[in-house]
Structure 1
Amino acid sequence: MNQNLNIAAFNSREIVSRLAEDIKSLSADMAPLKLMHICGGHENAIVRHALRQFLPAHIQVIAGPGCPVCICPVEAIDEAITLAQQPNTTVLTFGDILRVPATKTSLEEVRAKGGRVKVVYSPVDAIKIAQQEPQQTFVFFSVGFETTAAGIAGLIRSGVPENLFFLIANRYIPPVLKLLMDVHDESLQGFLLAGHAGTITGLEVYDFMRDEYRLPCAAAGFEPVDILLAIRKLLTLIKNNQHDVINCYRRVMKNTGNKIGQQCLSEVFALEPGTWRGIGAVDNSAYQLKDKYAHLDARKQFNCKPSYPPQSFHPGCLCHRVMLGEVEPQDCKLFKKVCTPGKPFGPCMVSAEGTCHVRYNYSEIKINLS
Structure 2
Amino acid sequence: MKYLEEFQNPDLARRLLDEIHATVTRPWALMEVCGGQTHSIIRHGIDQLLPEQIELIHGPGCPVCVTPLDVIDKALEIASRPDVIFCSFGDMLRVPGTGRDLFQVRSEGGDVRVVYSPLDALRIAQQNPDKQVVFFGIGFETTAPPNAMTVHQARKLGIRNFSLLVSHVRVPPAIEAIMSSADCRVQAFLAAGHVCSVMGIEEYPELAERFRVPIVVTGFEPLDILEGVRRAVRQLERGEHTVDNAYERAVRPEGNLAAKAMLADLFEVTDRAWRGIGMIPHSGWRLAEKYREFDAEHRFQVGEIATQEPAACRAGEVLQGLIKPHECEAFGTACTPRTPLGATMVSSEGACAAYYLYRRLGGTPTRPEQNQQTLEGTSVG
Specify the code of the residue in structure 2 equivalent to 1:362: Y
Measured in 2, the distance between the counterparts of 1:81 and 1:342 equals: 19
Measured in 1, the distance between the counterparts of 2:184 and 2:320 equals: 14
Check the 8 A contact 1:209/1:216 in 2, yes or no: no
2:231 is matched with which residue: 218, 230, 233?
A: 233
- TM-score when normalising by structure 1: 0.95
- 1:23-102 → structure 2 map (5 Å cutoff): 23-27=20-24, 29=25, 31-102=26-97
Task: From the superposition, tell whether residues 334 and 220 of structure 1 become closer, same or farther in structure 2 (CA, over 3 Å).
Answer: same
Measured in 1, the distance between the counterparts of 2:206 and 2:85 equals: 42
Shift of 1:186: 5.3
- 1:1-370 → structure 2 map (5 Å cutoff): 3-4=2-3, 7-27=4-24, 29=25, 31-160=26-155, 161-183=159-181, 185=183, 187-305=185-303, 309-311=306-308, 313-363=309-359, 367-368=372-373
* Partner SS for 1:117: strand
- Cα shift readout 1:49-89 (whole Å, capped 9, x = no counterpart): 11012101110011010100000001111111111111211
* Partner SS for 1:34: strand
Gaps of 5+ in 2: 361-365, 377-381
Shift of 1:211: 2.3
Specify the code of the residue in structure 2 equivalent to 1:153: A
Measured in 2, the distance between the counterparts of 1:209 and 1:33 equals: 19
- TM-score when normalising by structure 2: 0.92
* Partner SS for 1:143: strand
- Cα shift readout 1:79-127 (whole Å, capped 9, x = no counterpart): 1111111121111111111101111211111111111211111111111
* Partner SS for 1:212: helix
- Cα shift readout 1:308-327 (whole Å, capped 9, x = no counterpart): 5111x211111010000001
* Partner SS for 1:360: helix
Task: From the superposition, tell whether residues 186 and 360 of structure 1 become closer, same or farther in structure 2 (CA, over 3 Å).
Answer: closer
Check the 8 A contact 1:82/1:305 in 2, yes or no: no
Measured in 2, the distance between the counterparts of 1:158 and 1:263 equals: 15
Shift of 1:158: 3.4
Specify the code of the residue in structure 2 equivalent to 1:12: N
* Partner SS for 1:60: strand
Measured in 2, the distance between the counterparts of 1:127 and 1:177 equals: 34
Measured in 2, the distance between the counterparts of 1:185 and 1:337 equals: 28
Which stretch of the first structure deviates more once superposed, 332-341 or 181-190? 181-190
Identity %: 37
* Partner SS for 1:104: coil
Measured in 2, the distance between the counterparts of 1:211 and 1:146 equals: 23
* Partner SS for 2:280: strand
Specify the code of the residue in structure 1 equivalent to 2:306: P
* Partner SS for 1:274: strand
> How large is the Cα RMSD of the aligned pairs?
1.5
* Partner SS for 1:92: strand
* Partner SS for 2:19: helix
Measured in 1, the distance between the counterparts of 2:141 and 2:61 equals: 12
Check the 8 A contact 2:187/2:213 in 1, yes or no: yes
Aligned length: 363
Specify the code of the residue in structure 2 equivalent to 1:49: H
Measured in 2, the distance between the counterparts of 1:108 and 1:234 equals: 42
* Partner SS for 2:233: helix
Check the 8 A contact 2:209/2:242 in 1, yes or no: no
- Cα shift readout 1:209-266 (whole Å, capped 9, x = no counterpart): 2221121101111100000001000111112221111111111111111001110111
* Partner SS for 2:8: coil
Specify the code of the residue in structure 1 equivalent to 2:203: V
- Cα shift readout 1:258-302 (whole Å, capped 9, x = no counterpart): 001110111110011110000000111111111100111111111
Check the 8 A contact 2:65/2:275 in 1, yes or no: yes
Measured in 2, the distance between the counterparts of 1:314 and 1:169 equals: 21
Measured in 2, the distance between the counterparts of 1:10 and 1:117 equals: 38
Measured in 2, the distance between the counterparts of 1:12 and 1:184 equals: 40
- Cα shift readout 1:15-43 (whole Å, capped 9, x = no counterpart): 1111111100010x2x2110001110000
Measured in 2, the distance between the counterparts of 1:106 and 1:283 equals: 28
Measured in 2, the distance between the counterparts of 1:158 and 1:139 equals: 15
Shift of 1:183: 2.4
Check the 8 A contact 1:154/1:261 in 2, yes or no: no
Measured in 2, the distance between the counterparts of 1:184 and 1:33 equals: 18
Check the 8 A contact 1:203/1:257 in 2, yes or no: yes
